[in-house]
Structure 1
């Protein structure tokens, strides 16, 4: 069976003229953002919001070089995966599909069908699963395949989360150790994750917040073992949009509280991202950095993005290889996490409360 790997990420504008179309596509996606007007009015309201936000967003992109590096980095990550597959006995092509900018997921699916692909493995470059990120990408793949049924049936395999992979944890831990090595010994570690509306977690059963917390629980012991000391650490949520309630505390609130408690050295870990983009280069480095220094924090640093880290890409290649070979759906249908080698889920799925994958 002829297989291919579709690698997806958020995408980002490559210049000022692409900022408004990018925002329009983002705010039109009800998986990512459910605007209060309802499904029927989502698209026109998204256009209005995009027009209003575009000038300010474009100015922010200008502060980081005029464009998002995400598309370029995602292509480099995909190329790195493609370079690693032959060593694992796989000759499958790797196709890139961005969620909100070109090349789009629809274009990537079309390429796969035109190449006669019979098995499509989809990897969304988000370590933890959320309806608003990985779920949105998987739904976009499923919709395009449904639209193109004339191309024949395609076996699809979605890889919903990879935060448990040893190589991912190794790469993240190494970056944290490096950043703390350049900081005072009493530096506080602030894990900053992209936020989601609170109702995604409470009403829709999104496992994202739980998986973020589990990621931190897996990382901290590794870092503390290397450093030989306990760390002071906390979690906050960034990038809140609109007036509705989001997961909290926000990263701004957390920085304020830490400064008020006497913290003078802060290292921020973007725990939900695998490459640099506006949320790291502008929101953390510039906005939060300025806020921290204004509040008296004298050492402010951020861990480097994974980008094309070798251990990280090796881990992803190991994760997608069994699916590309057709070794079965190596994930739990309920909790969405990778199955262990024996093929039986070692988690109590009936009690974990995770939803069934919405793209099934």
Structure 2
């Protein structure tokens, strides 16, 4: 939602609580039916099986969204119960259920209005399955590659994914390798960090003492799953190319004489300034993606980075996307191209907030356009496969950046999670 609309829907307690995550407001935003939402249905997929030294589990991490209206209540309950995402302190057990219960009927109707649920799961599963088919061909030494999805607040949850891994023959004395592949190109502690913390928690619970031993780097082929992490990829060439081509496609819709004058507005989910000031790397990594895309475009157009989905009265990273569009319209600049630069598939932030709020509210829907999301883009999926192949061949459990905590981090859970994944280096060597 835009800031002014969001403020009318949230209590001050929720506004203060939501400062923990850049992903929260959009999930709670309103949504109405519109033609673009699920116009493109993911085609059916088949899995190639080209075995060698595999199997390798490829686990896509995301926060997820309710796939059906029946899942909305549970989705909101889990979201408001998470103290890492929404820190309510001693009031967590009281305010969390109260807010989620109050919001459920309205949010349930809103998901019904957009066709009965979020498209995030179907796009995540499609992207992963197609990526694994490519990996079977280009990385036969780690094949077959098995696709899994782990969401934080919607099915399939992280614990469900982990149980399925065990049931499929990973771990439980059989070992095997799994890659946690974040689907947030730019790292934030409240998105990728939260998902990795949850994965670490269920690893400890479901694989017992041996998993705890490996937290200290003592892995010695004890039959537990060996984990590694692809934790960020803001300037990967395939990601940049996929964005650039979609932008060029949208620019081609403008008359040639106006095309190079259209302003490119890269929009990413905003972040509370309290999180920014703690040292979260997200703003810098989003800016890196933007600059890399503009380099690929040879800086053909003027551009700005703006931020969407602010909620509540606390200070957030700006300028807001809605205010940016309004400001340029007021200055006489009506050819504006919105680019969701931090999202890899459609969801409420693109389908409702940009398509149904920002663009119509501009008063110029014929000249304010949104670039298509990556969704089932073959170029993007190939980029995912190339990243995965490079990671599988690197022998690295996680990047040096992931090992480093934010300067202002006080979360012991975050510290233990990072320690665990760093310690998986020895597990990979013996896998």
TM normalised by structure 1 equals: 0.85
Compare CA radii of gyration and give the structure with the larger one. 2
Which digits, 9 at most, give the CA deviation of each residue in 1:143-170, with x for residues without a partner? 0001113384432211111122111111
Structure 2 unaligned blocks of 5 or more: 1-53, 212-224, 419-431
- Count of matched residue positions in the alignment of Structure 1 and Structure 2: 336
Which digits, 9 at most, give the CA deviation of each residue in 1:109-158, with x for residues without a partner? 12223322432210121110011111111111000001113384432211
Q: Distance in 1 between matches of 2:306 and 2:271?
A: 12
Q: Which segment drifts farther, 296-305 or 70-79?
A: 296-305
Structure 1 unaligned blocks of 5 or more: 338-348
Of the three residues 382, 385, 390, the one matched with 1:314 is 382
CA RMSD, Structure 1 to Structure 2 (Å): 2.5
Structure 1 residues 113 and 262: alpha-carbon distance in aligned structure 2, compared to 1, 3 A threshold: same
| Alpha-carbon contact 1:160-1:336 (below 8 Å) kept | yes
Q: Distance in 2 between matches of 1:142 and 1:166?
A: 30
Structure ranking higher on relative contact order (CA contacts 8 Å, 6+ apart):
2
Aligned runs of 1:172-187 on 2, under 5 Å?
Answer: 172-183=243-254, 184-185=258-259, 186-187=261-262
Q: Which segment drifts farther, 245-254 or 275-284?
A: 245-254
| Alpha-carbon contact 1:13-1:22 (below 8 Å) kept | yes
Matched, 1:60 2:122: no
| Alpha-carbon contact 1:31-1:131 (below 8 Å) kept | no
Q: Distance in 1 between matches of 2:296 and 2:170?
A: 44
Structure 1 residues 110 and 123: alpha-carbon distance in aligned structure 2, compared to 1, 3 A threshold: same
| Alpha-carbon contact 1:92-1:324 (below 8 Å) kept | no
Q: Which residue of 2 aligns with 1:170?
A: 241
| Alpha-carbon contact 1:27-1:50 (below 8 Å) kept | yes
Structure 1 residues 179 and 31: alpha-carbon distance in aligned structure 2, compared to 1, 3 A threshold: farther
| Alpha-carbon contact 1:33-1:132 (below 8 Å) kept | no
1:353 CA displacement: 7.1
Q: Distance in 1 between matches of 2:80 and 2:387?
A: 31
Q: Distance in 1 between matches of 2:372 and 2:157?
A: 27
Q: Distance in 2 between matches of 1:274 and 1:159?
A: 15
Residue 145 of structure 2 aligns to a residue in which SS? coil
1:323 CA displacement: 4.0
Aligned runs of 1:111-190 on 2, under 5 Å?
Answer: 111-114=164-167, 115-117=169-171, 118=175, 119-150=177-208, 152-153=210-211, 154-183=225-254, 184-185=258-259, 186-190=261-265
Of the three residues 64, 71, 85, the one matched with 2:121 is 71
Matched, 1:235 2:305: yes
Q: Distance in 2 between matches of 1:353 and 1:182?
A: 45
Q: Which residue of 2 aligns with 1:341?
A: none
| Alpha-carbon contact 2:229-2:397 (below 8 Å) kept | no
Structure 1 residues 190 and 73: alpha-carbon distance in aligned structure 2, compared to 1, 3 A threshold: same
Matched, 1:292 2:335: no
Which digits, 9 at most, give the CA deviation of each residue in 1:77-131, with x for residues without a partner? 1111121111121213121112211111111112223322432210121110011
| Alpha-carbon contact 1:61-1:278 (below 8 Å) kept | no
| Alpha-carbon contact 1:80-1:308 (below 8 Å) kept | no
